[in-house]
Chain A
Amino acid sequence: MEKAIKKYFPIFALPTLLAFTIGFVIPFVLGVYLSFCEFTTVTDSTFVGLKNYIRIWGDKTFIHALWYTSLFTVASVITINVLAFLVAMLLTKGIRGTNAFRTVFFMPNLIGGIILGYIWQLIFNGILLHFNRTLTYSSAYGFFGLLILMNWQQIGYMMIIYVAGIQNIPGELIEAAKIDGATNRQLLRHVTIPMVMPSITICTFLTLTNAFKLYDQNLALTAGEPSNKSELLALNIYNTFYGRTGWEGVGQAKAVIFFLAVAAIALIQLKLTRSKEVQA
C-alpha cells in the first residue's frame, strides 16, 4: 500500500509542501539570515555579523516593550485563567440558562482584534472623559485597558475548554471523595484541579502565546501611545521595520529574539504543566 500511495506524491503532498516552502520555510530561513545583514530590500543585503543584535540593546523602546509585554503577559495569563476556571466551575453546576451564558461569554472571540480595539477605545475614552483624560494619557491606562479587553475576549474561549475538562472527570471519583468526607475545598484542590490539568496546560499555553504575540488589539486601542510607552513587542518590531529607515536589520534581529522567546516560553510552560498531569 505504501508504494501505491508514494506514487501519488505530486497530488497528495506537493501542493501543501510548495505553499509551505513559499509561505514559511524560505521566509523563515531568509529571515534568520537577514538578521545578520544590513538591508532595505531582500536583494541588497550586506552581511554585518552580530551588529544588529548589538544595536537592539541600545534601543530603549525595545527594552521598555520587553518589560511591558512580560508584565502584560503575566497579568493576562493569571486573570484570564482564574476567571475562566471560576466561570467554568459555576456553569457546570447545571443552573438554568447555562447554555445562554456560554453563548454570550464565547461571542467576543469571533470578533477581530482591530474591531475589538476600537470598541473598547470608545468605552474607555467615554469613562475617562469624566476625569478629563483619554486612553493615551498614560501607559498604565493602555495596560489595564488591554488587560480588560483581552479578558473580555478570551474568558469565553478558555471557559469552553475548562468546561470540557471538568465534564470529563468521572462522577465516581467525586462521589468517592465526598464519601471519604472531603470538603469542597479539598475536592477542588485534590480532585478537580489535578484532573483538569490537561485543560490548564492548554489554556495557559494559549493565553501565554496570545498575550505575548498580541498585535491587532494593541494597534487599534492605543497604537503604542503615549510616545511608544504602551507598545507591546510585536508592535515594536513592526514599527522598527516600517517606521525607521536603516533599522530593517535591527527589526529582523528583534524578530529572531522574539521568536526565540516565544519558543522558549512555550516549551518551558508545556514541560512544567505537563509534568503535573495525572491519569484517572
Chain B
Amino acid sequence: MSNVRKAKHGWILTLVFTLISIAYIMPIVIVLMNSLKRKIFISNRPFALPDAKSFVGIENYINGIQKTDFFRAFGYTLFITVGSVFVIVLCTSMCAWYISRVKSKWTTGIYYLFAFSMIVPFQMVMFTLSKIADMLHLGNPVGIIIVYLGFGAGLAVFMFCGFVRSIPLEIEESAMIDGCNPIQTYFKIVFPVMKPTAISVAILETMWVWNDYLLPYLVLKINKYKTIQIAIQYLKGGYGAIDMGAMMAMIVLAIIPIIVFYGVCQKYIIEGVISGAVKG
C-alpha cells in the first residue's frame, strides 16, 4: 500500500519538477530567441517567436562581435582565468603547506590574516588596490594575475590549510629521510594527496575570476583590455541606450562556453561547491 502511494507520488513530483525545470531555463531560451530578431521587435515583443518579419538571421551576432570585439575579450578572459587559477592553486597550496608545517608566531599570524581577508568586501580596497596596481603597472592581463593571487589568496590558503592538517606527518618525514628535499617532497608526495582540494579551489576560483566584473574593470587599462563581462557592460552606451540585438547575441555567445565547461566538469563543480562550503 505505502509503496504504491510512494510511486504515484514520485510520478507527480517528476512531472512538477519537469515543468519547473522548463520554466527555469526559459529566460535563456527567450534570450536565444531574441538574439535572432530585429532590434525593434526585441523591445516591443520580447516573448514572440521570430517570424518572417522580425527574423534577421545572424545579423545581431555579426554586429555584436564587431562592436564588442568579442573574440579578443574572450581571449583575454580565458588567459586571465586560466593564468590566475593556475597561479593561485600552485602558489597558495605551497604557501599553505609552509605555514602549516613551520609553526611559529609569524605563520600563525599570517594564517589568521588570510582568514580575515575572506570577509573583507572588495569595495573596501577597490580604490587603493586599483591605484597601487596602476603604480606597479599591473593593468594588463599578466599583471592582473598577481592582483588575483593577492586578493584571492584568503579562501584558497584557508581551504588548503584545512586539508594539510589531515595529512599524516610520517609520510613526509619518511620521504625527507629517504633524501628528498622539501621541493621534491612537496611535488611528489604532498601535492598529489591534495589533488581533491586543488580541484575544489580551482573550480571556485574559476567561477569567480571568469565572471568577475569590478576588479578587472578597475585594474585593467580599460581602453586596451576588456574581459567578456566588461565588453557586455560597454554595450550599454551613455544615457542608458542599449543595442538590444547585439546585447542578446553577446549574452548567448558568453553563455555557450559556460555550458560547455559545465557539461565537461559538472561532477567536479558540484563536488567543489560542496567541499568549499564545508571548509569555508
Contacts and interface: CB of A to CB of B under 8 A. Distances in A.
Nearest to A237: B123
B128 A30 contact: yes
A11 B97 CA distance: 12
Given A17-B110, A31-B125, A258-B123, A90 B277 contact: no
A28 B128 CA distance: 8
20 contacts: A4-B176, A5-B101, A12-B186, A15-B149, A16-B94, A16-B153, A24-B117, A24-B120, A27-B132, A31-B124, A93-B10, A93-B13, A103-B266, A107-B262, A129-B44, A161-B273, A164-B277, A258-B124, A259-B121, A259-B124
B17 A101 contact: yes
Nearest to B157: A16
B98 interface: yes
A1 B101 contact: yes
B201 interface: no
Interface string B248-269: 1001001100110110001001
A114 B273 contact: no
A88 interface: no
A157 interface: yes
Given A16-B91, A28-B120, A23 B277 contact: no
A103 B229 CA distance: 24
Given A6-B102, A114-B232, A1 B13 contact: no
Contact of B98 (A5, A102, A219): A5
In this complex, which of A90, A93, A126 has the most chain B Cβ atoms within 10 angstroms of its Cβ?
A126
Given A24-B154, A152-B24, A118 B247 contact: yes
A21 interface: yes
Q: Is the interface of A mostly helix, strand, loop or mixed?
A: helix
B31 interface: yes
B199 to A, nearest CB: 16
A118 B46 contact: no
B254 A112 contact: yes
B220 interface: no
Interface stretch (A49-57, A184-192, A248-256): A248-256
Contacts of B14: 95-97
B222 to A, nearest CB: 12
Q: Which 7 A-B pairs have the closest CB atoms?
A: A23-B150, A112-B211, A126-B46, A19-B150, A16-B95, A27-B125, A12-B98
B47 interface: yes
State which size class the interface on B falls in: 35 or more
A278 interface: no
A256 to B, nearest CB: 7
A109 interface: yes
B211 A8 contact: no
Interface residues of A, number: 93
Contacts of B210: 112
Interface string A169-204: 000000000000000000000000000001100110
A72 interface: no
Given A13-B95, A93-B13, 10 more contacts: A13-B99, A19-B91, A28-B117, A28-B125, A96-B14, A111-B255, A216-B214, A219-B233, A223-B240, A259-B121
A152 B27 contact: yes
Contacts of B21: 100-101, 104-105
Given A104-B21, A111-B255, A202 B95 contact: no
B18 interface: yes
Contact of A106 (B121, B124, B270): B270
Nearest to B117: A24
A100 B22 CA distance: 11
Contacts of A237: 123
B76 to A, nearest CB: 14
Contacts of A91: 17
A82 interface: no
Contacts of B280: 202
